[in-house]
Amino acid sequence: MEKLRIALQKKGRLHDDSMKLLKEAGIKFNIGSGKLVAQSPSFPIEVLFLRDDDIPQTIADGVADLGVVGENEVAEKDFDIAVAKRLGFSKCRISLAIPKSEEYTGKKHFQNKKIATSYPVILQKYFDKEGIDADIHEITGSVEIAPGIGLADGIFDIVSSGSTLVANSLKEVEVVMQSEALLVKADNLSTEKQALLDELLFRLNAVMTANSNKYILLNAPNDKVDEIVSILPGMKSPTVLPLAEEGWSSIHSVISEKKFWEIIGKLKENGAEGIITFPIEKMIL
């Protein structure tokens, strides 16, 4: 029987988030100390642990069938690889930043400036699009220190919280791209491997849908049930059950995490009481 081979970052936040998602999908690996290849006893898949920036090449060359990699790395390596699924974690942005003491008047600020970055391909495409002629200085590692030591006039780098920029007296002035973790795949998977990928995607969808929703249970007076049901559509429609106390019902449904507090407020306004929410482990639509 064929196995899928998936490339994952060997350490860091992307590694941790990827392993957590796979574990929630019922896929665990036998990982020994320092191992770069591991097998799963619960699914026909093996994992290669690599540097994040090596994963696009590994997929493009057909060494691995799948990979979890930052969208920024896919854009920087510029290989023609397909995105199987956007995973929604490890979100960040790639931005231009300058010393906070400088006044910023617009994108032309970067004309004829020296910009330090680990993402020269993305930055060059952006400057070409904007008609900006700048000196792109490629460095690895601590890009944010470049202006402070006189190596560059500004930087182009990953920004999450922005605390690193503040610590180095820099300010973010232009967001060039948003990035998140992607599940990417090689071209021309065999029929058997494509079937395994379909099963993997089915599991991931069930986990990710569950993580973005909550199960809700509440009590409501019967004369308010219609109004509350209109607020809680659920997957089909909410479940309404009579309570032992006459004139009251128990309503069960699923709500989006993003709209949670907005919906809770509306429920309370319409007479809902005893509102309880639960996390959902898996959700299959």
Where does the pLDDT of residue 94 fall: very low under 50, low under 70, confident under 90, or very high at 90 and above?
very high
Q: For residues 241 and 216, what is the distance between their CA atoms, to the nearest angstrom?
A: 14
Q: Are 7 and 13 in contact (CB under 8 A)?
A: no
The per-residue pLDDT for 193 is 95
| pLDDT above 90: residue 27 | yes
Chain centre distance of CA 272: 34
User: pLDDT per residue over 127-145, tens digit each?
Assistant: 999 999 999 999 988 899 9
- Lowest-confidence segment of 59-63, 162-166, 232-236, 262-266 by average pLDDT: 232-236
Which residues contact residue 116 at a Cβ distance below 8 angstroms, ignoring those fewer than 6 apart?
A: 137, 138, 139, 143, 146, 147, 151, 152, 154, 155, 156
Q: Which domains does the chain have, with CATH numbers?
A: 4-89+180-210 (3.40.190.10), 92-179 (3.40.190.10), 213-279 (3.30.70.120)
Which residues contact residue 208 at a Cβ distance below 8 angstroms, ignoring those fewer than 6 apart?
A: 21, 87, 88
The per-residue pLDDT for 108 is 94
